[in-house]
């Protein structure tokens, strides 16, 4: 039986004459941080103080002593970051240059000092660039010349912390006769029965040995002989329970086990969990252009998505529990699709296991983002090898429903002056339209592939044409007002978003000792977007008076504006289902404390946007929309049951009275959107009026003018507290009330985001982690809209 010996103990990190204890899995930065050699790069402006780390060579060493009675021993690295030379007692075992794949070396009978010497990623990338020539990119860092997590070189939300290390587990594998080298499971559903094809490959130490395999799944057992070093085992499981995305059904998972046998002797065992479901991507042309609709088990979906970046700039720190916590937050917000963005990594099994269990669909980018990538060696072979390995590694997961070739590179070639600058040099098209679709078609024909995001499906159209395929909406945020989301109906919005600073407690921890201001040195350092604060200001001034010199007010209004922007997009696009078939918010999470587009900040605190997503991504959503015909109420129903009831419409004065009222019948079939015209006499007139729609505990509010023109009354409300709760009772209109619980205590969390109260209404906000409830403190942590000036 194959035996595995983890190599986690006794590692040291060597640089010059300095020897430090090392943690494996880990990386150089975390080891230096633990040893007190460098300051925490997440705090203050320490990022710049540790830039030297990425420019040096580093060596990890340990003693290899494990003995074995087996015929063969392999040294297996699941992940090395990135360009490294591996030696054992001075004997070269091999050289590697790809963070995104595993590496295996024969080590039978070898003992002694194991050393992994990492070159600087800058040195490796520079050598490839010198050999293959310059290629354009969105950032002035050489990430396109090395198969490494691109965002470790910095992004418009991330720090530049170019690290190295043994970032995934390493072990010795001892085996005799044969071992399982690869299992490729094809899982489908045929006429209500589950069909499993296990394509098995083995490595032999004895060619003449007769081998067989036994496969088990769902109570079914099949045995088969292996002819040579490969074979196929087929099982049929009748009456399987289908795996569904969250909100559409349950997520039953089945254990599958494949045992490699020599007679009755067990040589090796492969185990995974699978789920039975079908997935299609409907890209048929129609009257509106070219669709992009996910279809799971025959059910057409409006995808309620978020973009995922690595949850830490040092991925080895992301544990199974942290994946579960962050993805659990996504599921609790109504999310049903997570896009693993192409500037990061193929995540660990823990990520996809959590998605399988939570019913979160996974859209997986191949790791290419915002750059022209050379297609020559040594990169081309590495790209194909990593794609082959990771496609097979991730195939068992039913949550994985889409492979995507790249992020924004097809768009970049067309719009970012790449074509002229490249002058005919390779740039990645051969990967996205050649290598990657070929690999997916060969190894994983059960899932769809798309060449990129955005991608219109053909060079005959603009890559980011909103009428065809996937669309990234970045003119809004970069140049336009978020009201402009309402001007188009893309077929699938794969990226859009708006920035806001992190929670107050997150900033206070990261910038301890600094007097916080919108333009203070630390706040600006933790803002990585080009002209980020300028865009924040211009975006705010379209709707609010800018609060000069008032950091607390600036912080609050930036959160409000982020919520308003994302809501403007999702409400509009959901109201146009099925023409628009999904929105994927940029972004769910952060990898450090930073002003960004995230809904959950770098310390794991939920920003108001997170709570707004709960409303926007709920099965039922009420929204008031301005159409050519006038003001309409759109009721989006993604639930499995029809939505019937009565909507109460009220034309209100900001001073508190009702100007007009009506009740309209609501009848919306399951998985559809109902549109009801608002009676003309209820449309608000001028800055002093607004419209409120209420039904089944849901509310939509429409103000006809920007907030800066609304004569809000001075808010009046009472505050009472009890253990775990703050109750606010309004005496006037209180718009966008927000309890910033982390101002009460850094560990405190509130269960509400922005809330609008009419006179006489009340809301009780749950608060966890607040040890000393106090009404005065609660009032000081409450913010809302106030009169101008």
The domain 621-709 is placed in CATH, from the list 2.60.40.10, 3.90.850.10, 3.30.70.960, 2.20.28.10, at 2.60.40.10
Give the whole-angstrom CA distance, residue 238 versus residue 486.
Answer: 48
pLDDT (0 to 100) of residue 66: 67
pLDDT (0 to 100) of residue 69: 85
Please determine, looking at this structure, whether the domain spanning 287-315+365-392+402-439+448-595 carries the CATH number 3.40.30.10.
no
What would the mean pLDDT of 139-164 be, rounded to a whole number? 98
The residue extents of the domains of the chain are 3-173, 177-274, 287-315+365-392+402-439+448-595, 621-709, 717-783
The rounded percent of the chain whose pLDDT value lies above 90 is 96
Which pLDDT band, with edges at 50, 70 and 90, does 106 fall under? very high
Which pLDDT band, with edges at 50, 70 and 90, does 656 fall under? confident
Q: What is the mean pLDDT of the chain?
A: 97
What would the mean pLDDT of 496-520 be, rounded to a whole number? 97
Q: Is 46 helix (H, G, I), strand (E, B) or coil?
A: helix
Give the whole-angstrom CA distance, residue 361 versus residue 205.
Answer: 40
What would the mean pLDDT of 396-401 be, rounded to a whole number? 98
The pair of structure tokens assigned to 330 is 């996504």
Give the whole-angstrom CA distance, residue 317 versus residue 731.
Answer: 48
Residue 67 has pLDDT above 80, yes or no: no
Residue 200 has pLDDT above 90, yes or no: yes
pLDDT (0 to 100) of residue 789: 62
196, 238 contact by CB (below 8 A): no
pLDDT (0 to 100) of residue 435: 98
Burial grade of 665 (CB within 10 A; 0-12, 13-18, 19 or more): exposed
Which of 133, 129, 93 lies closest to 109 in space, CA to CA? 93
Which of 164, 255, 176, 265 lies closest to 216 in space, CA to CA? 255
Angle of helix 379-394 versus helix 436-443 axis, rounded to 10 = 30
Which of 703, 707, 700, 658 lies closest to 685 in space, CA to CA? 703
CA-atom Rg of the chain in angstroms: 28
pLDDT (0 to 100) of residue 113: 96
Domains 177-274 and 621-709 share a fold: yes
pTM: 0.97
The residues that are catalytic are 408
* Helices (H), ranges, 81-220: 121-132
Which of 721, 724, 723, 719 lies closest to 784 in space, CA to CA? 719
Give the whole-angstrom CA distance, residue 397 versus residue 390.
Answer: 12
The pair of structure tokens assigned to 594 is 């930073």
The pair of structure tokens assigned to 638 is 């993604």
Superfamily of domain 177-274: Immunoglobulins (2.60.40.10)
Looking at residue 458, what DSSP letter applies?
S
pLDDT (0 to 100) of residue 697: 95
* Per-residue pLDDT tens over the stretch 315-348: 999 999 999 999 999 999 999 999 999 999 999 9
* Per-residue pLDDT tens over the stretch 475-486: 999 999 999 999
Residue 788 has pLDDT above 80, yes or no: no
pLDDT (0 to 100) of residue 17: 84
Superfamily of domain 3-173: Galactose-binding domain-like (2.60.120.260)
What would the mean pLDDT of 420-445 be, rounded to a whole number? 98
pLDDT (0 to 100) of residue 761: 97
Residue reference for tokens 């970045």: 474
Please report the beta strands in 542-627, taking only residues with DSSP state E, as ranges in sequence order.
582-585, 620-627
pLDDT (0 to 100) of residue 207: 82
Give the whole-angstrom CA distance, residue 557 versus residue 749.
Answer: 19
The rounded percent of the chain whose pLDDT value lies above 70 is 100
Which pLDDT band, with edges at 50, 70 and 90, does 88 fall under? very high
pLDDT (0 to 100) of residue 209: 86
Give the whole-angstrom CA distance, residue 162 versus residue 29.
Answer: 9
What would the mean pLDDT of 444-468 be, rounded to a whole number? 98
- CB within 8 Å of 110: residues ≥ 6 apart: 64, 73, 88, 89, 91
CA angle centred on 353, ends 639 and 300, rounded to 5°: 30
């Amino acid at each position: 039986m194959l035996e595995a010996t983890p190599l986690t103990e006794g590692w040291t990190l060597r640089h010059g004459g300095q020897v430090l204890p090392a943690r494996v899995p880990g990386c150089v930065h975390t080891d230096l941080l633990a040893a007190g050699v460098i300051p925490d790069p997440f705090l203050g402006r320490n990022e710049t103080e540790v830039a030297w780390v990425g420019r040096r060579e580093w060596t990890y060493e340990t003693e290899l002593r494990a003995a074995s009675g087996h015929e063969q021993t392999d040294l297996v690295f699941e992940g090395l970051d990135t360009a490294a030379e591996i030696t054992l007692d001075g004997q070269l075992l091999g050289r590697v240059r790809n963070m995104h794949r595993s590496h295996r070396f024969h080590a039978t009978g070898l003992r002694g000092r194991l050393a992994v010497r990492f070159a600087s990623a800058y040195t490796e990338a520079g050598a490839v660039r010198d050999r293959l020539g310059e290629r354009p990119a969105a950032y002035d860092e050489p990430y396109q010349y090395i198969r490494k997590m691109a965002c470790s070189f910095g992004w418009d939300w991330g720090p530049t912390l170019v690290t190295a290390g043994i970032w995934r587990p390493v072990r010795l594998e001892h085996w005799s006769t044969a071992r399982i080298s690869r299992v490729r499971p094809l899982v489908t559903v045929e006429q209500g029965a589950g069909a499993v094809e296990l394509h098995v490959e083995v490595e032999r130490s004895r060619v003449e040995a007769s081998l067989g395999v036994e496969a088990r799944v769902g109570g079914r057992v099949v045995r088969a002989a292996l002819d040579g070093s490969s074979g196929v085992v087929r099982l049929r499981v009748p009456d399987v329970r289908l795996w569904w995305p969250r909100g559409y059904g349950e997520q039953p998972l089945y254990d599958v086990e494949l045992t490699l046998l020599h007679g009755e002797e067990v040589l090796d065992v492969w185990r995974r969990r699978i789920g039975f479901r079908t997935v299609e991507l409907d890209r048929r042309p129609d009257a509106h252009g070219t669709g992009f609709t996910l279809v799971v088990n025959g059910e057409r979906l409006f995808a309620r998505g978020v973009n995922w970046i690595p949850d830490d700039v040092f991925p080895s720190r992301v544990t199974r529990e942290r994946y579960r916590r962050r993805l659990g937050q996504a599921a609790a917000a109504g999310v049903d699709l997570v896009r693993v963005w192409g500037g990061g990594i193929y995540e660990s099994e823990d990520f996809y296991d959590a998605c399988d269990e939570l019913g979160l669909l996974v859209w997986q980018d191949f790791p290419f983002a915002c750059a022209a990538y050379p297609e020559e060696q040594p990169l081309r072979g590495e790209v194909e090898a990593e794609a082959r390995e990771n496609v097979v590694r991730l195939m068992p997961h039913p949550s994985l429903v889409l492979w995507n070739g790249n992020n924004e590179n097809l768009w970049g070639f067309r719009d970012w002056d790449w074509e002229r600058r490249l002058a005919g040099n390779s740039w990645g098209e051969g990967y996205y339209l050649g290598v990657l679709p070929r690999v997916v078609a060969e190894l994983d024909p059960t899932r769809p592939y798309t060449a990129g995001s955005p991608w219109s499906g053909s060079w005959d159209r603009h890559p980011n044409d909103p009428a065809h395929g996937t669309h990234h909406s970045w003119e809004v945020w970069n140049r336009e007002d978020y009201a402009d989301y309402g001007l188009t109906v893309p077929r699938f919005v794969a990226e859009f978003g708006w920035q806001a600073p992190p929670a107050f407690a997150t900033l206070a921890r990261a910038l301890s000792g600094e007097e916080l201001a919108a333009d203070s040195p630390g706040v600006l350092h933790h803002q990585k977007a080009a002209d980020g604060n300028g865009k924040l200001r211009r975006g705010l001034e379209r709707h609010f008076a800018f609060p000069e010199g008032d950091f607390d007010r600036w912080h609050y209004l930036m959160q409000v504006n982020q919520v308003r922007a994302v809501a403007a997009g999702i409400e509009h696009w959901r109201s146009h289902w099925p023409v628009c078939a999904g929105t994927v918010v940029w972004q769910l999470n952060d990898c450090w404390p930073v002003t960004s587009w995230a809904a959950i900040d770098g310390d794991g605190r939920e920003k108001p946007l997170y709570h707004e997503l709960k409303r926007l991504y709920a099965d039922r959503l009420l929204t008031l929309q301005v159409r050519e015909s006038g003001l309409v109420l759109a009721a989006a129903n993604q639930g499995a049951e029809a939505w019937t009831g009565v909507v109460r419409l009220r034309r209100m004065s900001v001073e508190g009275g009702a100007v007009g009222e009506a009740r309209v019948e609501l009848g919306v079939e399951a998985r559809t959107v109902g549109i009801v015209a608002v009676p003309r006499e209820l449309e608000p007139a001028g800055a002093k009026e607004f419209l409120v729609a209420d039904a089944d505990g849901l509310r939509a509010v429409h103000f006809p003018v920007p907030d800066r023109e609304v004569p809000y009354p001075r808010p009046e409300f009472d505050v009472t507290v009890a253990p775990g709760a703050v109750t606010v009772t309004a005496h006037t209109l209180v718009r966008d009330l927000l309890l910033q619980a982390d101002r009460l205590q850094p560990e405190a969390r509130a269960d509400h985001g922005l809330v609008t109260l009419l006179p006489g209404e009340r809301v009780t906000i749950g608060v966890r982690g607040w040890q000393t409830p106090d009404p005065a403190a609660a009032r000081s942590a409450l913010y809302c809209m106030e009169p101008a000036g």
